[in-house]
Amino acid sequence: MHMKKQILSLCVGAALLAPHFATAQKTLQVAVNAPKGDIQPTMWGVFFEDINMGADGGIYAELVKNRSFEFFKPMMGWTVLGNKATEGDLLVVNRYAEKPSNPRFLRATVRNAAKGEMGLVNEGFKGMGFKKDLRYDFSVLYRQAAPGVKLHVELVDSTSKVIGSTVVALPKSGEAWEKATASLTATATVPKGRMNLWLEGSGRVDLDMISLFPTDTWKGRPGGMRADMIQMLADMKPGFLRFPGGCIVEGYDLSQRYQWKNTIGPVEDRQLIINRWNFEFAHRPAPDYFQTFGLGFFEYFQLAEDMGAEPMPILNAGMACQFNSAELVPLDELDPFVQDALDLIEFANGDTTTRWGRERAKMGHPAPFHLKMLGIGNENWGPQYIERLKVFTKAIKEKYPDMVLITSSGTDPDFKPFSPEGFNYLDTTLRTMKADVIDEHFYRTPDWFFANANRYDNYPRNGPKIFAGEYAAQSDKPVSIRNKNNMQTALAEAAFMTGMERNADVVNMASYAPLFAHSEGWQWTPDMIWVDNLRAFGTPNYYVQKLYSLNRGNKILPVTLDKENVAGQDSLYASAVLDTKTNEVIVKLVNASGKAQDVALNLQGAKKLAAQGKLTVLQASDLNMVNTLNDPMALAPKESTIAVKGKNVKLAAQPYSFSIVRIKM
Ligand code: AHR
């Protein structure tokens, strides 16, 4: 709907095969003196979901896998060391009645053991990454009738060589759980290490929450996040942070839905559940993928605040994933779900005299998080969604009339057999309901993205705003393991984003998805940022997102090629913005063809331009080019200057390039 078929985009494929030669100059008119709408500060943001080992084993810096023995297989991640332990000496015990949120612990019966005779090794998440000279903090909860056992913690490399060790005394006794801590420093950098835990002495001791964190976490927070990964997000200066997903919000069934109240408070009380991506794809099984919620809603809010991004939580709408069990909460049983939404707003914004505001303060943040928007449901569809959405909307708007609600338009406007009928039904109904924001998702081929660079040109200017909440060009096809984050997909997204930017009066927010993937632990590709245990790199798609975000401006400028929107003519795509705070004109141009193209920028009505502008270019000689862990910057933006003559700039748009020209007025 609202879509003019883009015939010219069909030329892209042919043009890509053309030899590299410059063609006759085209003129791009930018109406600097006629801004036509505002660009929201939220325009370009990030979408986080715990998929591809995004949280546990990813940004959550905990190195110990299955630290509290709650995985389906209680000893998953752990292997017994030494030959002293006999049957039952290392036993996982379940105290569900006493502590349902964290029922299991390890009971060790130690009989006159010397170091090296009885212990456990934890394999980490695809190994543990250790850095030379970095301090690591170990902690454990323990309980015992009488002291008698001490622990030896060792960091080891893949050959079992010890590269750091410490001794942990367990001095206290009694019924209560106590915490013991110790620190140790790695003497070598190791990408795939492990942690040994030896028990020495005699006695019976209960152990739980066996944990190891690096100390170089984001903002140095103990038990915090992996700084290198978060820095890549912060560098983008995202306008918003959407969390916690994605399908993870919905769950395979409702028991596996994301429940924010289970993710706050002391980490040992946060009830672990299976990660739905554990078993979603038979071709990428991840039997050790769980959500420990060490990273929960408090941490997401805090991260958004750290980055200056608006927090955008998405809540379950009383519906499990409709691709999976499609389980539904009956309408007359929806109250607890709606209450969760109301309580979340209080948790984020309520003062410290309120029940949930107090919880936030107890976690160390008495000031509100200034939540302004909230998503109800992810990729839900059909009348069942609308019925539930109406209940949420009424209750939330009654109490918080200014809260902006983000609503789902289903899975994908072009996804068969859901669409076009499914999408049109939701779109029409949501507009009739006067929804605030409609969330659209696109996992389509590069050709689709090029062809849809004009998607929003004819969208209604009044009514709901659009949040392009998930999109990524698929070099093969959706959910294919052959999808690559190559230059072709990055250019296709950059072209599509010119259309969003030209229509930023309608499209108020957009985010690429998914965000992170571990090179050994992924389920879904393509992804914006790839990591291993020690390294992280941005794909060309990351650089496209970052360049848009860092060059966002606050006013839309009309830009035309021969009086038409530039959406595919000669494989060119363009948008332009004004930044009234820095007084700069910013022009973005995608040349999706394999030939250089001379483009004359004419900045109509601009007064007194600087003689020189800044040119940033992301370019590849080959559309299949990718970045890798070993060559992370093969494709990265390059900066130079560009001459400005009066109101004119001559831009030689390189083959397969995304260029940004930034000129001071
Ligand atoms: O981004 C991966 C998944 O794609 C999200 O969880 C879901 O919303 C979409 O289908």
pLDDT at 611 over 80: yes
Tell me the mean pLDDT in the region 468-497: 97
Q: Which of 406, 475, 507 minimizes the C-alpha distance to 626?
A: 475
What is the residue-averaged pLDDT of the chain? 95
513 close to ligand 1 (CB < 6 Angstrom): yes
pLDDT computed for residue 369 by the predictor: 98
- DSSP structure class, residue 401: T
pLDDT at 20 over 90: no
Atom 6 in ligand 1: which residue has the minimum CA distance?
A: 246
* Ligand 1 pocket: which of 48, 312, 441, 515 to mutate (most atoms within 8 A of CB): 441
pLDDT computed for residue 607 by the predictor: 87
**How far is Cα 530 from Cα 520, in angstroms, rounded to an integer?**
10
**How far is Cα 617 from Cα 642, in angstroms, rounded to an integer?**
11
Ligand 1, residue 49: give the atom nearest the CA.
6
Give me Rg for the CA atoms of the chain: 27
H-run or E-run covering 27:
strand 23-31
**How far is Cα 263 from Cα 242, in angstroms, rounded to an integer?**
16
pLDDT computed for residue 5 by the predictor: 35
Which residues form the catalytic set?
379
Return the amino acid letter for 455. R
Burial grade of 172 (CB within 10 A; 0-12, 13-18, 19 or more):
middle
Burial grade of 83 (CB within 10 A; 0-12, 13-18, 19 or more):
exposed
Cα 471 to ligand 1 centre (Å): 9
Both tokens of 217, joined, read: 């976490």
DSSP symbols for 143-202: EESS--EEEEEEEE-TT--EEEEEEE-----EEEEEEEEEEEE-SS-EEEEEEEEEEEEE
Return the amino acid letter for 238. P
pLDDT computed for residue 529 by the predictor: 99
Cα 191 to ligand 1 centre (Å): 30
Q: What counts of helices (H) and strands (E) characterise the chain?
A: 11, 35
Atom 3 in ligand 1: which residue has the minimum CA distance?
A: 246
49 close to ligand 1 (CB < 6 Angstrom): yes
Ligand 1, residue 443: give the atom nearest the CA.
4
Ligand 1, residue 378: give the atom nearest the CA.
8
Q: For residue 111, give the 3-state DSSP assignment.
A: strand
Ligand 1, residue 379: give the atom nearest the CA.
8
Atom 2 in ligand 1: which residue has the minimum CA distance?
A: 514
Ligand 1, residue 411: give the atom nearest the CA.
10
User: pLDDT tens digits, residue range 403-414?
Assistant: 999 999 999 998
User: pLDDT tens digits, residue range 503-545?
Assistant: 999 999 999 999 999 999 999 999 999 999 999 999 999 999 9
418 pLDDT band, cuts 50/70/90, is: confident
Q: What are phi and psi of 309, to 5 degrees?
A: -100, 150
Q: Are 637 and 618 in contact (CB under 8 A)?
A: yes
Q: Are 613 and 663 in contact (CB under 8 A)?
A: yes
User: pLDDT tens digits, residue range 312-328?
Assistant: 999 999 999 999 999 99
25 pLDDT band, cuts 50/70/90, is: confident
pLDDT computed for residue 24 by the predictor: 66
Return the amino acid letter for 131. K
Tell me the mean pLDDT in the region 198-209: 98
- The predicted model scores a pTM of 0.95
525 close to ligand 1 (CB < 6 Angstrom): no
Both tokens of 433, joined, read: 């309901």
Cα 470 to ligand 1 centre (Å): 7
* Ligand 1 pocket: which of 252, 275, 470, 480 to mutate (most atoms within 8 A of CB): 470
User: pLDDT tens digits, residue range 140-175?
Assistant: 999 999 999 999 999 999 999 999 999 999 999 999
* Ligand 1 pocket: which of 48, 49, 322, 525 to mutate (most atoms within 8 A of CB): 49
Q: For residue 109, give the 3-state DSSP assignment.
A: strand
